[in-house]
Amino acid sequence: MDVPATDVHQHLWPEGLLQLLARRTVAPRLRREDRDWILELAGEPPAVLDLAAHDPAERARRAAADGLDRIVVAPSTPLGIEALPVREAQPLLDAFHAGVLELGAPYALWGSVPLAACGPAEVDALLDAGAAGLCLPAEALGGPEALRRTAPVLERLAERDAPLLVHPGCAAGDTALPAWWPAMTEYVATMQAAWLAWAEWGRAAHPGLKVVWAMLAGGAPLQAERLGARGGPAAAVHDERSWYDVSSYGPKAVDAMLRVVGVDRLVLGSDRPVVEPPSLATLGPAVREAVTRTNPAALLGSPRGLTP
Amino acid sequence: MRELAGTPDEWAHLVEHRPDARTYAELRRDEHVGIWLICWMNDHDTGYHDHDLSSGAVAVTAGAVREERLVLGGAPAARTVAAGDSFTFGAGDIHRVSHAGAEPAVTIHAYSPPLWRMGSYEVLPTGELRRWSLSYAEELRPIGA
């Protein structure tokens, strides 16, 4: 096979990023508690970090066992690094970028920028360094004002024919709630808002930009009938420059999505190590071929780090 | 669909004949209809299948294809459809379509609602019929196409 089987959405925290997080005194940070490392985030309960889950060799082994040739590593936007002041955010993002790029194959990189200072120059620097594209938190596209702020970045990405990954951002949740709460409420709501804003304003402003939506865009395209009934841009489900990663969803939701947007729009994004990806085997070998090979190739082209 | 079949400027660049397998291109997709271009040669054959909830129509723009409807205990009801002609099927129909003649064929298929799932029929040596439920990707986005 000359088209690599690709997982477009995993998270991996390189050594350099872990060290910087451990030096911080406020969230997001890592703190030592006896023999454990505790991850503290602003909107989520403290949790023990499984360092083994971020071992690149073990992760690559698991990907190979699943028949995958390439892993595109996304920034963990729920950490909230992008929203920090630039002087705090930039060293953390630099450590993330450098750590992933140093790994080389099978790893490739979604770059990330501090939201307070992102422009075309930052996009160029990331792509020139070898990033496959840029990842933005959903909030950065969540409405007309947000889209106006992000426009220079999106324009440069489109000019360079590099894709955008839209990923849920930092939850402002209540730490008394269960760990899954943000994933089922704020993540879904912000992804849906970003997708709807893209349908209403973003796509018209950036007709050429390739966009991949994490977690099936929170299921936003499944709301198309309701969107149409309320006078909204329901035809956006047929946008040929949008893809949807299946992260955290199983065969039922993916099949429902396939019916709305077609198989050509779906890509494998496992979200490892956050979740273990459900099997999509019941959808059949042709769906797997489309989701792991054909569609990621159309989305990512052949940037550095993605050619076998 | 007939209109699209009559305007080859819109799809002629997508025509590609491969000896080992049919080739497929999606021409249009909206809420109500999915339209596909399929290129045939060398007796390419779909095998018996249904289209679950989708009805459809096929316009032949080059060459010819043969449609066979499954008939229990008898020879299939067959017809050959050549360039310029078309045929339709309902969601409940079980048929197979194969390339006919020496010249490569080009067909345009409209499915409404857009094809989603299909049934593929295997005829066992005992004559029993076995149905396999498939995503439409098996038909229109097969591996290696």
**What is the predicted pLDDT for the residue at B145?**
63
**What is the Cα–Cα distance from A194 to A240, expressed in whole angstroms?**
17
How many structural domains are present in chain B? 1
* Whether A294 contacts chain B with CB within 8 A: yes
At residue B75, what are phi and psi to the nearest 5 degrees? -70, 145
Per-residue model confidence as pLDDT tens digits over A272-305: 999 988 899 999 999 999 999 999 999 998 644 4
Per-residue model confidence as pLDDT tens digits over B86-122: 999 999 999 999 999 999 999 999 999 999 999 999 9
Tell me which DSSP letter residue A293 carries: I
Q: The complex's ipTM?
A: 0.91
Residues of B whose CB is below 8 A from A263:
135-137, 141
In a domain, B112, yes or no: yes
Q: Among A254, A271, A272, which Cα is nearest to A263's?
A: A254
Q: Among A66, A49, A21, A41, which Cα is nearest to A292's?
A: A66
Structural domain containing residue B74: 2-140
Q: Which amino acid is at B65?
A: V
**What is the predicted pLDDT for the residue at A302?**
61
In a domain, B136, yes or no: yes
In a domain, A308, yes or no: no
In a domain, B130, yes or no: yes
DSSP three-state, residue A200: helix
In a domain, A29, yes or no: yes
pTM: 0.94
Per-residue model confidence as pLDDT tens digits over B11-43: 999 999 999 999 999 999 999 999 999 999 998
Q: Which amino acid is at A286?
A: A
C-alpha distance from residue A176 to each of A78, A168, B55 (Å)? 17, 20, 52
In a domain, A305, yes or no: no
Residues of A whose CB is below 8 A from B26:
262, 264
- pLDDT > 80? residue A307: no
Supply the CATH number for residue B53's domain: 2.60.120.10
Q: Determine which of A258, A266, A280 to mutate to test the interface with B (most B C-beta atoms within 10 Å).
A: A258
Element (H, E) at A213: strand A211-213
B143 vs A287: CB contact, 8 Å cut-off?
Answer: no
What are the beta bridge partners of residue B64? B82, B100
Q: Among A300, A225, A302, A304, which Cα is nearest to A9's?
A: A300
In a domain, B79, yes or no: yes
- Considering CB atoms only, which of A235, A238, A284 is closest to B138? A284
Per-residue model confidence as pLDDT tens digits over A24-72: 999 999 999 999 999 998 877 788 999 999 999 999 999 999 999 999 9
DSSP three-state, residue B27: strand
Q: Among A16, A43, A49, which Cα is nearest to A30's?
A: A49
In a domain, B145, yes or no: no
Supply the CATH number for residue A16's domain: 3.20.20.140
How many structural domains are present in chain A? 1
* Whether A256 contacts chain B with CB within 8 A: no
Structural domain containing residue A160: 6-300
Q: Could you tell me the two tokens for A267?
A: 């890509």
**What is the predicted pLDDT for the residue at A46?**
85
Per-residue model confidence as pLDDT tens digits over B53-95: 999 999 999 999 999 999 988 999 999 999 999 999 999 999 9
